Amino acid sequence: MRWKKTYTYILLAIFLIRLSLPIFFTQYVNSVIGDIQGYSGNVEHMGLSLFRGAYQFENIKLSKHQGGQKYPLFKAKEIDVSIHWLSLLKGKLVAEIFLYDFFVDIDAGPRSEANAKENIEEIKKTDETMWLKSLRALVPLRINVIALVEGEVIIAKGERVNEVIFSFDHLDGSFSNLRNVDQQSPSDFSLTGKVLKEGDLSIKGVMDLHKTYPQYDYAVDIQSLPLNNLNYFARKYAYLDFEAGMLDIHGKLKTEGKEIKGYIEPVLRNVKVMEIKSEDGIINNIWQSVVAGFLSLFETGEKEIIKTKVEISGMRKDPEINAIGAFGTVVYNALVNIFD
């Protein structure tokens, strides 16, 4: 009978430990998040799946503090971290991560500083050591696979409150072999989703992160993005409004050592510039008239297409886009469509 009591006590102890572990880990994760200077957040609950060798961050949120205000930076319904069993069979103990229903605002901060690139550089420069320390505390294993399920990433916002001018939505994808478990095999990645909630996005490629200069080779396709969704950029940089039309983009980018090579092919279909309004100013009216007249060159029967190719070349961190050559190609295509 004594062994039965001992067995019962052992089972009860295991049950109580298992019951208390999520509470302990929830408190631990929240303390790690609380130590990130300039940011605040919390995880609602930590789940454990002992048989899978996995744990889950449930309803995790992170905000950026700036100017006495809090700006949502990241949230996810669930992040599942587990041992990557296929890699373990090959003798490597690494992790795979699944992000479900997540949100990232790269341009989080006061609208007076609405510049996603500057914000990224600020995070990297100011908090790099702290971010790495926090990440390693939350995910001690090296990450070999990342999977994304139903995500939203805000790239840039306008001057008005909650004005999103560029974003990726319904983002799904994966990054595999990040730790080179498959020897001599590059990491491959793919992403699909929406651009500004309407254009279809597809990105596929490979990368080698283990060389002195990480190497990339990927293709990007965006299909059927309504041009009026880009009117923020059109008004700011080209002084015009699109009333109708679609934009397709195909591009490729490849690195060889420090060198970057690639191109972007934008295709505009059925373009229509918004009617001129006198209150926009005489200079703007003249410019929009010129643009409308130029675009009308392409509206000949079924050939309502503007297609060009923008070459990208340069050294790492200093890519150069030949904009003049791109404009020349546009003019050339216009002439071809007129006389063909």
pLDDT digits (tens, 9 = 90+) for 185-235: 678 889 999 988 899 999 999 888 777 777 888 898 989 989 888 888 777
Structure-derived torsion over alpha carbons of residues 14, 18, 23, 29, reported in degrees to the nearest 10: 120
- 29 vs 107: CA distance, rounded Å: 25
Range scoring the smallest mean pLDDT among 77-86, 102-111, 270-279: 270-279
Comparing 299 with 246, the larger pLDDT belongs to 246
Q: For the whole model, what pTM was predicted?
A: 0.76
Range scoring the smallest mean pLDDT among 7-11, 88-92, 167-171, 185-189: 7-11
- Could you report the per-residue pLDDT of 259-318, keeping only the tens digit for each? 888 888 888 888 777 654 545 555 455 445 555 555 554 444 444 566 777 777 777 664
pLDDT value of position 278:
46
Which residue, among 149, 136, 211, has the nearest Cα to 180 in the 3D structure? 211
pLDDT value of position 313:
78
Comparing 39 with 132, the larger pLDDT belongs to 39
- 188 vs 205: CA distance, rounded Å: 6
pLDDT value of position 126:
47
Q: Across the strands, what pairs with 144?
A: none
- 122 vs 39: CA distance, rounded Å: 13
- Report the percent of the chain where pLDDT is more than 70: 67
Return the residue matching tokens 């306008």: 158
- 297 vs 268: CA distance, rounded Å: 13
What mean pLDDT comes out for the span 130-154? 83
- Could you report the per-residue pLDDT of 32-44, keeping only the tens digit for each? 888 888 888 999 9
* Average confidence score pLDDT of the chain: 75
- 60 vs 57: CA distance, rounded Å: 6
Q: What is the DSSP string of 30-81?
A: HHHHHTSTTEEEEEEEEEEETTTTEEEEEEEEEEEEETTEEEEEEEEEEEEE
Instruction: State the pLDDT confidence band at 340, using cuts at 50, 70 and 90.
Output: very low
Pairing assessment for the beta strands 143-157 and 95-105 based on DSSP bridges = parallel
- 90 vs 224: CA distance, rounded Å: 43
312 neighbors 325 (Cβ within 8 angstroms): no
pLDDT value of position 132:
66
**What 3-state class would DSSP assign to 106?**
coil
Q: Across the strands, what pairs with 223?
A: 200
- 84 vs 62: CA distance, rounded Å: 26
Choose the most confident range, by mean pLDDT, from 36-40, 90-94, 275-279, 334-338: 36-40
Instruction: State the pLDDT confidence band at 247, using cuts at 50, 70 and 90.
Output: confident
- 225 vs 198: CA distance, rounded Å: 6
32 neighbors 134 (Cβ within 8 angstroms): yes
Which residue, among 307, 239, 232, 315, has the nearest Cα to 271 in the 3D structure? 307
pLDDT value of position 141:
79
Is residue 330 scored above 50 in pLDDT? no
Return the residue matching tokens 């929240």: 30
